[in-house]
Amino acid sequence: MAEPRLAPRLDGPRRADDHPAAVPCWAPVVPELFAPSTIGLLLQVWEHRRDLHDALDALPQSICHQDLFPRNAFIRVAGGAEQTVAIDWAFCGSAALGADVAPLLGASLGFFEADCDEADELERLCMNAYLDGLRLTGWQGHGDDIFLGYLATIALGFMVGAVGPGAHLRPGQLLGRYG
């Protein structure tokens, strides 16, 4: 296994019995928040979380922001050229190439800053721009590795990892707090 991430965000619950579907105080609300098919998908991802972590650890690693989405990135013009400025580097650390695309898409959709009907097109644009940026640095790896880094991070951080923070709240409380 690779050395630990500086800011581990993808671990989700630490033990199998910490999973929202297994914790007694969470179990009653999970079916209120998610359809049975979604719960089944979450449990499948949970069952394969170690495989996903191993896949991420095996991919090329880089320093990553790990919380890059529109609220943490701005465009400024300097010297007549546009530059991207990223703020809030609290979760910065080593992660698989492609991992930074996950919060860009996941958080943008989760915070309703992007239209869900345009998610596929947004994903295509982000992945192409990410690959173009890597190639500008001289990277000659395979695009499938980047897509795996993105998908595994989405699965761990925005599927399984997203259940825990609000699972103890009732749906009305969840919408009241975050809506």
Instruction: Kindly report which listed range (91-95, 137-141, 161-165) carries the lowest average pLDDT score.
Output: 161-165
| pLDDT for 23 beyond 90 | no
Burial class (CB in 10 A: 0-12, 13-18, 19+), 81: exposed
pLDDT tier, 147 (very low <50, low <70, confident <90, very high otherwise): very high
pLDDT given at position 163: 66
pLDDT given at position 39: 80
* Among candidate residues 118, 116, 130, 139, the one with its CA nearest the CA of residue 84: 130
pLDDT given at position 83: 93
Domain assignments of the chain as residue spans, ordered by start: 20-178
| pLDDT for 91 beyond 70 | yes
pLDDT given at position 66: 93
Question: Please, which residues bridge with residue 93 across strands?
Answer: 64
| pLDDT for 9 beyond 80 | no
158 vs 141: which has the higher pLDDT: 141
107 vs 26: which has the higher pLDDT: 107
pLDDT tier, 36 (very low <50, low <70, confident <90, very high otherwise): confident
3-state secondary structure of 31: helix
State the Cα–Cα distance between residues 44 and 51, nearest whole angstrom: 12
Which residue matches tokens 């989700």? Answer: 12
| pLDDT for 17 beyond 80 | no
pLDDT given at position 8: 45
Residues 6+ apart with CB under 8 A from 14: none
Residues 6+ apart with CB under 8 A from 177: 166, 169
pLDDT tier, 73 (very low <50, low <70, confident <90, very high otherwise): very high
Q: What is the full DSSP assignment across 32-99?
A: HHS-HHHHHHHHHHHHTHHHHHHHHHHS-EEEE-S--SGGGEEEEEETTEEEEEE---TT-EEEETTT
17 CB neighbour count, 10 Å cutoff: 9
State the Cα–Cα distance between residues 111 and 102, nearest whole angstrom: 13
Tens digit of each residue's pLDDT (9 = 90 or more) over 107-133:
999 888 899 999 999 999 999 999 999
